[in-house]
Chain A
Amino acid sequence: MTTDRDADFTAYLQARQGRLLRTAYLLTGDQHQAEDLLQTSLAKLYLAWDRVHERESVDAYVRRIMVNEHNSLWRRAWRRREHPTEAVPEVASPPPAYDDGQSLALWSAVQTLPRKARAVLVLRYYEELTEAEAAEVLGISVGTVKSQTSRALARLRETAPELREEER
């Protein structure tokens, strides 16, 4: 039986899944993990749809689910003793058609960041959310967004010399 609720959700799914997949990819750095993260996050959104869809920002809600779910997966992996590595991981997708090398180095550096730091950068510099919006998605204060962003950028400067050389 198809309800109005399901029709509403399907319309949202069709309209937004492409964009959300790209955000999931930036959070995970891996195509397959991104697809799995997106499917789980959308499923949780579906379960909460009646509570959420009349509010102002479904996108903000599902972004928050994605970030939390990604961190949760990380915690579960940690409990299974699948320890993270500080080493730069292999590039999980081919570089874009034009790449002067700096982009690849910067992307690799982004992937060495802790997950929460990566999430802050993705929300601020890809989604281009304001600090207040990012704080709302992450469930943290604006001050914490500022400090986490600052620390993440400092870490990037350490691991991506090309970036540091550009600074004025």
Chain B
Amino acid sequence: MSHDSSGDLTRTLRERADDVTGTALTFDDVRGRAGQIRRRRRAGVAAGVALVAAVVLPIALLGGAGADKSDPGPANPSPTHAVDPNAAGVPTLQDDVIIYPEGPRIPVRLPRNARVMSFTPLWTDRFVISTLDDDGTKISLLDQNGNGVDHFPTTGGSLAVAADRSAVAWMGTDGSPQLLVAGSDAPRTLGRVPGVMPALVAITGDCRTDCEVVGRSQDGKGEFDGSWAASSNGGVRDLPTALPAVMDATSDGDLLAAITGIAADDIHACGGVYDVGAADLLWDTCEDNVFLFSPDGALVMTLFAEGAGPLSLTIRDARSGAPVATYDDGLIKSWAWEDDDHLLAVVAAADGAVSLQRIGTDGRSETVLDGFHVDDPTLDVPLQLPRS
């Protein structure tokens, strides 16, 4: 098509669209439709699981989606397990049931209309989940059988987790991170952090002695406004101004990954890895805006998460930024390191098939779990990895 004809097409589309006005939708209109969708999804997920994972049924239908969650129900009759996180592998959340590859299946008891936004094991015998319902987000501490021990208010619902899962942190409603250490039922309130809409990204150090919760804030206009570290001893320090939005930290705190600015194309972000000891940015890229260090900090996964989700990820050497492996075989819904050399990713194919993939540093991937299906792969999928 010639330039003029392209202009004709743009003009025609504008002429047709610009006269279109409709009845203004209210928030209640949208929320009402959302409620219908949520109910339909739950029914659909329950039906899908019935087809592909019959072994999960006895537990999932009793305590999971599709059941009336308004009452906590009787105590879980399943055996009590303390899970060795190093031996049991990385659990997944499937239809409100936490499932270990080589361990127990633990139904999560949720309030009515609540859905899990994020979850993590806390050492060997607890779980921390953040949930969203009509009243907003909430943090719940669960025992090893999935029963609620306590609930805490939060803003945002994001979790930061120690690499060995010995501590979990979330944002309290008063602007202070809350830190829960293994062996304790009560979170510790850390110092108040600056900025608005703070997000926690990592825990460095050993919280049984001394650790820091690392996070970032915004300025109220949606712009990143600085990164900070809140100590378990109560202090809060600013991270270098060269790192307006920290995205992750190695467990020893030696390396920080951060977004440093917006790319020239005004679409992508620029970011990279910062060496705290050298006070220098080791490398950066203007391709990706999510960074996740491997447990030992030798590797970092990067991807560009925007809109419905990324279509590829790269595993890089953390200190050089050199790509070690890439994966681009579907819409990547969630991700977590399995160990120092393997990344797990929940992937949705264009036809709606959802699987769990293990991606190695040799670039090979293998299917760990499959048999899940969704109508629309750009939306939530019935398989979720823990925060790592």
Which residues of A pack against B, CB within 8 Å?
1, 3-6, 9-10, 13, 17-18, 21-23, 25-26, 31, 34-35, 38-40, 42-44, 46-48, 50-52, 54-57, 60-61, 64-65, 68-69, 72, 93-94, 96, 99, 102-103, 106-107, 110, 121-122, 125-126, 128, 132-133, 136-137, 139, 153, 156-157, 163, 166-168
Complex partner residue of B16 from A21, A25, A44, A47, CB under 8 angstroms: A25
Closest 5 CB pairs of A and B: A43-B33, A22-B17, A43-B34, A126-B13, A61-B307
Note all chain A residues with C-beta closer than 8 A to B307.
52, 55, 57, 60-61, 64, 136-137
Q: A101 → chain B, closest Cβ, in Å?
A: 11
Chain A residue nearest to B16 in the complex (CB): A107
Complex partner residue of B30 from A13, A21, A72, A126, CB under 8 angstroms: A13
Complex-state Cα separation, A123 to B44, whole angstroms? 31
Interface centre among B4, B16, B31, B308 (most CB of A within 10 A): B16
**0/1 per residue, B286-298, Cβ < 8 Å to A?**
0001000000000
Interface centre among A5, A13, A44, A121 (most CB of B within 10 A): A44
Note all chain A residues with C-beta closer than 8 A to B210.
none
Q: B134 → chain A, closest Cβ, in Å?
A: 7
**0/1 per residue, B275-309, Cβ < 8 Å to A?**
00000000000000100000000000000011110
B22 at the interface (CB under 8 A from A): yes
Complex partner residue of A68 from B2, B4, B19, B378, CB under 8 angstroms: B378
Note all chain A residues with C-beta closer than 8 A to B75.
none
Q: A87 → chain B, closest Cβ, in Å?
A: 19
Interface centre among A26, A35, A56, A133 (most CB of B within 10 A): A56
Chain A residue nearest to B331 in the complex (CB): A139
Note all chain B residues with C-beta closer than 8 A to A72.
375-376
Complex-state Cα separation, A42 to B376, whole angstroms? 15
Which residues of B pack against A, CB within 8 Å?
1-2, 4-6, 8-25, 27, 29-31, 33-34, 36-38, 117, 132, 134-137, 155-157, 197, 199, 265, 267, 269, 289, 305-308, 311, 331, 350, 375-376, 378-380
Q: A47-B34, A167-B2 are in contact. Are A128 and B10 (CB under 8 A)?
A: yes
A64-B37 in contact (CB<8A):
no
B135-A31 in contact (CB<8A):
no
Complex-state Cα separation, A54 to B368, whole angstroms? 31
B17-A23 in contact (CB<8A):
yes
Complex partner residue of B21 from A6, A18, A44, A121, CB under 8 angstroms: A18
Complex-state Cα separation, A9 to B14, whole angstroms? 27
Note all chain A residues with C-beta closer than 8 A to B5.
163, 166-167
Note all chain A residues with C-beta closer than 8 A to B22.
21, 31, 34-35, 38
Q: B352 → chain A, closest Cβ, in Å?
A: 10
Note all chain B residues with C-beta closer than 8 A to A125.
6, 9-10, 13
A25-B20 in contact (CB<8A):
yes
Note all chain A residues with C-beta closer than 8 A to B27.
6, 9-10, 13
Complex-state Cα separation, A6 to B13, whole angstroms? 33
Count of inter-chain pairs, beta carbons less than 8 A: 172
Chain B residue nearest to A61 in the complex (CB): B307
Complex-state Cα separation, A56 to B306, whole angstroms? 6
A39-B308 in contact (CB<8A):
no
Note all chain A residues with C-beta closer than 8 A to B199.
54
Complex-state Cα separation, A110 to B269, whole angstroms? 35
Interface centre among B12, B33, B305 (most CB of A within 10 A): B12
A-B contact pairs, 13 of them (CB 8 A): A4-B136, A4-B155, A10-B27, A26-B13, A47-B37, A55-B306, A56-B269, A57-B267, A57-B306, A72-B375, A93-B19, A126-B14, A139-B308
Complex partner residue of B9 from A56, A121, A137, A167, CB under 8 angstroms: A121
Complex partner residue of B12 from A6, A47, A94, A106, CB under 8 angstroms: A106
Complex-state Cα separation, A106 to B11, whole angstroms? 10
Q: A55-B307, A61-B308 are in contact. Are A110 and B38 (CB under 8 A)?
A: no
Note all chain B residues with C-beta closer than 8 A to A23.
17
Q: A5-B136, A38-B25 are in contact. Are A46 and B30 (CB under 8 A)?
A: yes
A107-B197 in contact (CB<8A):
no
Q: B380 → chain A, closest Cβ, in Å?
A: 7
Q: B149 → chain A, closest Cβ, in Å?
A: 24
A1-B20 in contact (CB<8A):
no
Complex partner residue of B25 from A13, A110, A126, CB under 8 angstroms: A13
Q: A64-B308, A68-B378, A72-B375 are in contact. Are A132 and B267 (CB under 8 A)?
A: yes
Note all chain A residues with C-beta closer than 8 A to B379.
44, 47-48, 65
Complex-state Cα separation, A96 to B19, whole angstroms? 7
Note all chain A residues with C-beta closer than 8 A to B38.
47
Q: A69 → chain B, closest Cβ, in Å?
A: 7
Note all chain B residues with C-beta closer than 8 A to A167.
1-2, 4-5
